[in-house]
Structure 1
């Protein structure tokens, strides 16, 4: 068994992992003490912990707990960062903002990794051909983007926007330490465009912007309209009016316990004609008294909701059977079960 003192913590690596709150860490500690062993190994690279920072911290206080270490091979530091981000994306208790940030950092670091870089091409005389390399690089980046998108069930455009969003979050953290967690947990409620713009903002101006974004939206200073000439939206990023956006492309839905839930910041940037028609109909319906559903219609709705709930949970547990072996996930599942049971009990009391 490897000596715990031989393991190292990299602040940048640790910063990509959502920290546990006091209650969650206490539950994890109690589970580890009860089991007297670590169910999942600590994942390391070159001696640095990639997954298991909270477990490592607890192990330092409880040397009697048995543990294992699994070392993985990666080409460089960027690949290690990409691995951490993608590993966190596999978890289900992520806020939408954090999921978007991690996806952007995965894409950014995979492009920077030696393992994912392109080889320079040369002509017959041995001279470096920059044009051919640029074409090759764009092709490689496109494949990388598509692979990350497919793995996470979103579109390539979402991944590209996520990278820009992540750079804005990084800029905020560099100027105002602690701003990253405020943004990723929804304490700072801002649009994607507001966060993305921070990457192009002088560092000395960011603290004032963050201070403004901390205010409720109704108390913020009105923005001056941006002229078309000064718009920082590139032509290739402009939305296609005929494009139909999927739900995952717009914003993933969090399956987190209530403690982790935050208001979703994403929104559709472009509506199709069909979207506008449905939206107009929805608004019109708000001004008319809705017809009371009869018993059969109501029970169909209730039964359908119940069956959908069971189907989705079964699907998750089938695709991710290891979720029952992870202490963090088990604690989150128990929390969700208790919260759902409490809600169903209130309905039962109304029925009785």
Structure 2
């Protein structure tokens, strides 16, 4: 059994198989008793065939072969992976758009590296070198023609891909949810994320994921007569029976209440997708630990309010 290196970046460009697809692939390999197609490698690093190699790890008796390919750099390898996937698999529109953009970005970087090396060689030798590998049509036009799409589609895919990578960094696992169709993003949303400054991306991503909450908050700020939001929790609810928020305080009240609603919706969504955290004692510790911070903040805020009120009363009594 040859131990091949697994490069996470290479592996992440390959759309994952469903459980049924993986099971069917394993059954086919076991039935044949060997791999019909060689694994593609670059300097002992696996480039294509990650699912088949995972099955081989479970069944070392299966015969397989490798086919080495030569790449000048990692970007060329990534571009090859994307081009290979685009040409041979049934892909969802999201997967195809992502791979299209990733191929374009990788080939652009590879071309820059090539030109840099070409310049260095030319300077050392005093001559020039023919750009055979990168000659011909521009990268964008060539990729568009290869995939039967417009040049604009490739450029939009580039922004989409970069946006998905940023989103996956902000919320690990979101890319796979996009590929499975559980989550959908538009080109415009991903462009907005890409063009935002790094310190604002978390806020932009939250707006994209929860547009209904953002819209509700904007409505609350703009219209003090909007529908009542969910009240914030209080330590003594009896004292607020029949209480009406004064009109001049409504804007602040609604904004704070909407923030509470946003937190509640986030918790509900996360727990709905991770229900074991409600029943597993060890995972419950994680929830209780996460609950400490908001609870501690609200308790501190209430204590601070009581302290300021007490000091105000004392000051008023002194001057009375």
TM-score by structure 1 length? 0.53
Which residue does 1:4 correspond to in 2? 2
1:38 to 2:35 alignment: yes
Aligned to 2:194: 199
User: Comparing both structures, which one devotes a greater share of its residues to helix?
Assistant: 2
Residues 179, 205 of structure 1: alpha-carbon distance in 2 compared, 3 angstrom cutoff:
farther
Q: Does 1:158 align with 2:153?
A: yes
Say yes or no: does 1:146 pair with 2:141.
yes
Please name the residue that 1:180 is paired with. 175
Q: Secondary structure at the match of 2:76?
A: helix
- 1:76 Cα deviation (Å)? 0.5
Distance 1:121 1:113, change over 3 A: closer
Q: Which has the larger radius of gyration?
A: 2
Instruction: State whether structure 2 residue 105 is matched by structure 1 residue 108.
Output: yes
Alpha carbons 1:149, 1:156 under 8 Å: kept: yes
Structure 1: 5+ residue stretches without partners: 127-135, 225-352
What does residue 46 of structure 2 align with?
49
Corresponding position: 1:169 with 2:167: no
What's the counterpart of residue 214 of structure 2? Answer: 221
Secondary structure of the residue aligned to 1:97 is helix
Secondary structure (helix, strand or coil) at the match of 1:49 reads strand
Q: 1:29 to 1:195 in 2, by over 3 A?
A: same
- Cα distance in 2 for partners of 1:141, 1:179 equals 37
- RMSD of aligned alpha carbons: 3.0
Change (3 A) 1:190 1:21: same
Q: Kindly indicate whether residue 80 of structure 2 is the aligned counterpart of residue 87 of structure 1.
A: no
Count of aligned pairs between the two proteins: 206
Residues in 1 aligned to 2:37 and 2:15: alpha-carbon distance in whole angstroms? 18
- Alignment of 1:13 with 2:10, yes or no, is yes
Does the CA-based 8 Å contact 2:15-2:179 persist in structure 1? no
Q: Which residue of 2 aligns with 1:97?
A: 94
Give, in whole Å, the separation in 1 of the partners of 2:201 and 2:136.
30
CA offset at residue 26 of structure 1?
Answer: 1.1
2:94–2:179 CA contact under 8 A, matched in 1: yes
Contact 1:189 1:213 in 2 (8 A): no
Partner of 1:71: 68
Contact 1:16 1:102 in 2 (8 A): yes
Cα displacement string for residues 230-251 of structure 1 (whole angstroms, at most 9, x for unaligned residues)? xxxxxxxxxxxxxxxxxxxxxx
Deviation at 1:98, TM superposition (A): 1.2
Structure 1 residue 184, shift from structure 2 partner: 3.2
Cα 1:73–1:200 shift into 2, 3 Å: same
CA shift, 1:199, in A, is 1.3
Superimposed CA distance per residue, residues 84-112 of structure 1 (whole angstroms, 9 cap, x where no aligned partner): 11111113411111111111111111111
